[in-house]
């Protein structure tokens, strides 16, 4: 006769009770690592906000210039003054 095939059997896993002091230390370490990561992320977001301001302001200039299909001389002068204002605002933001 053929050999009997052994099938997998469920195994009972005994749950170990974690050491309360170790669990407390592990939770404290995880919380401090999370706080450190969030601090670094918020600092990068603040540093990147200057770049976002530049992108939004220059984008508004481009959008205004592109939005007028046949500009008059008065509109060209007005848009140029706006562009100079945006450049000045970006210089001020970069120096601060």
pLDDT in tens, 44-67: 888 777 788 888 988 999 999 899
CA distance 37 to 83: 39
Lowest mean pLDDT among 12-16, 69-73, 79-83: 12-16
Instruction: Tokens 């204002």: give the residue.
Output: 85
8 A C-beta contact, residue 45 and residue 78: no
| Structure tokens, 51 | 């770049």
pLDDT: which is higher, 13 or 81: 81
Q: What pLDDT shows up at residue 2?
A: 67
What pLDDT is attached to residue 7? 80
Which residue shows structure tokens 């052994």? 6
Query: pTM, whole model, 2 decimals?
Result: 0.51
């Amino acid at each position: 006769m053929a050999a009997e095939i052994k099938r997998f059997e469920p195994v009972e896993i005994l749950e170990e009770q974690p050491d309360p002091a170790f669990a407390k230390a592990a939770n404290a370490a995880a919380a401090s690592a999370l706080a450190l990561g969030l601090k670094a992320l918020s600092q990068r977001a603040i540093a990147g906000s200057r770049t976002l301001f530049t992108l939004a302001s220059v984008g508004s200039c481009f959008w205004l210039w592109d939005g007028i299909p046949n500009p008059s001389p008065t509109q060209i002068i007005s848009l140029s003054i706006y562009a100079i204002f945006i450049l000045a605002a970006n210089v001020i933001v970069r120096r601060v």
